[in-house]
Chains A and B, each alone.
Chain A
Amino acid sequence: MHGSSDRAHLWIRVFAAPMLLAAATIIGLLAALLWGTVGQYVAWVTVGAPVPVVSWVWVRRRTKKNVRFSRATRGN
C-alpha cells in the first residue's frame, strides 16, 4: 500500500510538469483556432511555454557555473 502510494507520488513528480506543459500546448493550439483574437493571445502564452522553460534551465545552469567559477577564483 505504502509502496504504491510512493510510486504514484514519484510518477506525479516525474510527469506533472511535462503533462501540464502538454495540456497547455494542446489548449493553446485549439484556442487560436476556435476563439479568434483572444485565442491567439492564449496560444502565444501556452504554446510558447516550453521555450521559457528551456531558457530558464539554460540560464540557471549558466548562473550556477558562473557562481562556481567566481567562488573558485576567490578561493585562490
Chain B
Amino acid sequence: MKARTVRIWSVVHTWTSLISTLFLLLLCLTGLPLIFHHEIDELLGYAPQPEAHASAARATPQVVADAALAADPGRVLQYVSWDKDEPGLVMAFTNGAPDGAPDNATVRAFDAVSAKLLGPVGVGPMLIVLKLHTDMFAGQAGKLFLGAMGLLFVVAIVSGVVLYWPFTRRLRFATIRDSAARRVRWLDWHNLIGVVTVAWALVVGLTGVVNTWAELMLNQWKATELASMVAPYAGKPPPVHLASLDNVVVRAMQAAPGMEVAFIAFPGTPFTSSHHFAAFMRGDTVLTSRLLKPVLLDGETGEVADARALPLYLQALLISQPLHFGDYGGMPLKVIWAALDGLTIVVIGSGLYLWVARRGKRAPAKADAFARRAPVPS
C-alpha cells in the first residue's frame, strides 16, 4: 500500500472515529445495562410478576381488554400484546387517542389467567437508559442522528481493517510490544481488540443503524402495502362498535394456521388503518417468532380483510433486532454481548488516547520546526 493511500485511509479512520466517539461511548455505556434490562427491572422491582395459578384456563383477550380500559378510564386501547418469553402476562397499551404519541402511551401488565392488573411496564431507571440509547430524548431527529453516528462507526471499522495491514504486517498476530512506548503498546491493543471484534461490531453497528430507520420503514409500509390492503375499504368510517377481541383473535389464527398472535393493533393506531384491527402473527421458532405476519380484520365484524407477509425491508428490520440486542441465545450470549461491548469501549477509548498522544507528540515537533524556520532576530 502506498504511503499516500495509507495517509488517506488514516484521515478517514481518524475523523470518522473522532466525530462519532462521544456518541459511540454513550451507546456502548447505555447498551451495557440494556443487555440485562429484564434482570435489572426484576431486581429493582419494575418487572410485574404473574400470579401462581393451579388451573391453566387463560382469561380471554376481551376480558383483558376490558380490564385494561377499566384500569385507565377515559383513554383508549392501542395494542394488546403477548410476549412469548412471558406466557403468564398480557400487556396492554393505552393512550389518549388511537394515534397518540408513543411517549404518551401507558403500558400495563395483566395476569394471563385472572386478568388482574399487575403493574406498569417500561418504567423505572431503565426507561431513561433506553431513551438515551435510542434517541437521547430528541425523538425521531435523535434516532436519525444516532443512526448517522452508527454509519460513521461502520466507516471507521472498515477503514480500521484497511489500516490493520500496514500497521501489523511486520508483527505476528496478537503481538503487544511491551518494550516499546506506552503509545505503541496501546496501538497494539487497539489493533488487536479492534480486529478480533470486527465482525460483531459491524453487525451490531449496522443493525443499530437499521433500527433507527424503523419509523421511516413503517411509514413506507403504511403508504404502500397497508394502503393497498385497505384500498377496498376506502371511505369507510372508523368503527362505531368494535368487534370482540376474542372473535378477532380466533379469526386471525384461522387466517394464519400454525401461528400465534404476537400483538393486536386497534383501529386508528399507527400499525393499521382507521377501520381495521391488525393482528401481527408469529411462528414458533427463534427465527419465525421474529418475522411477523399482519392479518387485517374488519373493526366492526372481525372478518379477515387481508393477510400478507411483510415486505423484505420490514423483515430485515425485524431480523436486525435480535442481532442488535443479543437477546436470542440465553444468558451466556448476553454475557458475551456485554464482554464484547466492554471490549468495544476499550477500542474507542484507546483510539481517543492514541489521537491525543499523537497530537501531544506532534505539537512540540511542530514548535521545533517552526523555531528552526523562524528568522533569528538580530
Contacts and interface: CB of A to CB of B under 8 A. Distances in A.
Contacts of A17: 173-174, 196
Interface residues of A, number: 34
Nearest to B332: A44
A57 B192 contact: yes
Interface of B: 164-165, 168-169, 172-174, 176, 178, 192-193, 195-200, 203, 285-287, 319, 322-323, 328-330, 332-333, 336, 339-340, 343
Contact of A21 (B164, B196, B328, B343): B196
Interface of A, secondary structure class, is: helix
Given A43-B329, A51-B336, A61-B178, A36 B285 contact: yes
Nearest to B329: A32
A50 B203 contact: no
Best-buried of A18, A25, A40, A43 by chain B (most CB within 10 Å): A18
Contact of B328 (A13, A26, A32, A56): A32
Contacts of A43: 329, 333
Given A13-B173, A29-B203, A40 B287 contact: no
Contacts of A1: none
Contact of B286 (A39, A47, A53): A39
Given A29-B323, A48-B336, 6 more contacts: A16-B173, A21-B199, A44-B336, A50-B197, A50-B200, A51-B339
Contacts of A15: 164-165
A21 B340 CA distance: 13
Given A14-B169, A65-B178, A50 B196 contact: yes
